[in-house]
Amino acid sequence: MTKTTLIGAGSAVFAQQMITDVLSIPSLDAGEFALIDTDAQRLELAHELAELTVARSGKRFPVSASTDRRSLLPGTDFLINTIEVSGVRNVQHDYAIPLRYGVDQCIGDTTGPGGVMKFLRTAPAWQGILHDVEALAPAATVMNYTNPMSALVLLSARASGLKVYGLCHSIQNTLRELAGYLDLPAQEIQYRCAGINHLSWFTELTWRGENQLPRLRAAMERPDIYEQDVVRFEMLRHFGAFPTESSGHFSEYVPYFRTRPELVEQYTRAAYGGESGYYARNWPRWRDEHTLQVQDLIRRERAGEAAIHMTRSPEFASNVIEGLVLGRAQAITCNLPNQGPHATLIENLQADGVVEVSCTVDAHGVHPEVFGRLPEALAALDRPHMAIHSLLADAVLYGDAELAVQALLLDPLTAARCSLREIRAMFRELVEAEWHDLPPFIQHTVPPQVSA
C-alpha cells in the first residue's frame, strides 16, 4: 500500500485537502495516511477530520497520528511537509521591527527580513526531518510546501541525498487569474513560465495559437482590471512578462513599489494587493478560524451532514503520487535544482541554485523541462534572490551567522531603504526579539540576557 505521511498535519484544513486530493486519484483505492505534528491538540483534530474524510471516500486508507515522527516515518513512500515553526509568536516581530527601519512588508514570510527570520527559525527543524527521513524512509519522495520555498529546497539539496521537490500553487493560481482578465477558459491557455518560486514569469501566453500578451496589455488599460493587480500589471508594462505571485507579495521582491510612502499609496491596494502588515495582522486570526472551521466540519459530519466536499484541488502533490504510483503522466510545476542530470534548466540563472520549471511526472520519476534562457532582465531580477537563498542555506550548514546577515544585506527592498549599518542593527533587533526560537549559532550573536 502507498503510504503518504504529512508533517505539519496540525494545519488541518490544508492536510485535509491533501488527503482529499489523494483519495480523489482514480483507481488508487487503498493506501495509508500518517499524520505528524508537534501540537497534540491540533493533531487530534486533524486525525479525526482525516478519518471522516476517508470514510466519506469509501476507500481503504487507515489513518495513524503521532507527535513522534520517527514512529511513523518507516514505510513512507511520499512525505508532504507543511511545518510552521514558531510563526505565530514572531510574525509581529518580522513585520514591526523592519517597519521601524522603513522596510514595509505585506506578507514577509519568504523574502526580505521576514523571510530571512522565518528561514532561520525553520531550517533546523527541516534538517531534523530530512535526517530522520534519510534514516527511516530513504526511498521516500519528499514534497515541500513550507516557505521560504526556494531556500528550504536548496538546503535539502545541499544537506541530503533525498528526492525533494518544492510544490506551490502560484503558477496555477496566476493562470486562473490571467484567464479571468482575458475572459478565456484557463484549461485552453498554453504558456511558458519559469524562474524561481514566487518570482517566476509568464513569458508566453497563447490561446488557439494566438499570442495573448498583447490582449493582456490592452486589458490592463481598463481600470476595473488594472485595479485587481496593479503591481503585476506594472511589471508587465515595463518588463514584458507577468510574474507569478500576488501583487502584494511580489512587491516585496523588488525596490519599485514599497520604498516611499507615496509609492505604497500609489501602487498597493488592500489585502493581497499589497496592504502593509496584512499577513502579520491577520494570520493569527486565520489560524484560530481554521481551528473553528475544522471543529465545525467534524461536528456536522458526525451529525450525518455531508459537510466534507471531496473535490480535488489544483495542488500538485496528488499529481506526483498519481504519476509515480500509477504511471499516468502528469504535468506539474516544481522547484528543484537548476543543474539537471543532463543540462542546466534555466541557462542564465545560477546552476547551483533552485529554480521553478514545468515538469512531467510518470512511473520513471519527475522530469523537468529544460527552459533555456529567461529574458535577461527577468533573470537579473531573480539572481539576487538566488544569491540570498545560497547564503542562507550555507549559513545553516556551516553555522555561520555572518552569512545570514549578508543575505539580509543583499535583499533588494531592504537595501533600497537602509544603510549597511542599519541593516545590521535591524538584524540584531530581530534576533533579540526572536532569540528563543532561533538556532544556537544565531543566538550566540546576541547575549541571552538581552532577550530574557
Mapped onto helix, strand or coil, the DSSP state of residue 316 is coil
Q: Which amino acid is it at 324?
A: L
Residues 6+ positions from 184 with CB-CB distance below 8 Å: 207, 212
Q: Select which of 47, 93, 169, 198 is catalytic.
A: 169
Yes or no: say if 143 and 156 are a contact pair by the CB < 8 Å rule. no
What is the C-alpha to C-alpha distance for residues 452 and 444, in angstroms, rounded to an integer?
Answer: 14
CB atoms within 10 A of CB 341: 7
Distance of CA 247 to the CA centre of its chain: 16
Helix (H, G, I), strand (E, B) or coil at 193: strand
**H or E stretch at 284:** helix 278-302
Could you tell me if residue 274 is left (phi over 0), alpha (psi between -120 and 50 degrees) or otherwise beta? left
The alpha carbons of the chain give a radius of gyration, in whole angstroms, of: 22
Which grid coordinates belong to 67? Answer: 507527535
SS3 state at 109: coil
How far apart are alpha carbons 426 and 103 in whole angstroms? 10
Q: What cell does 71 get?
A: 514512529
- Of 195, 160, 158, nearest in space to 335 by CA: 195
CA angle 122, 441, 394 (to 5 degrees): 65
Alpha carbon distance 10, 36 (integer Å): 8
Q: Is residue 423 within 8 Å of residue 388, measured between CB atoms?
A: no
CB atoms within 10 A of CB 161: 10
Cβ contacts of residue 376 below 8 Å, gap of 6+? 348
Q: Say if CB 143 and CB 167 are below 8 A apart.
A: yes
Instruction: Let me know if 131 is a catalytic residue.
Output: no
Q: Beta strands of 92-233 (E only): which ranges?
A: 141-144, 163-166, 189-196, 199-207, 210-211
Q: Which residues are catalytic?
A: 169
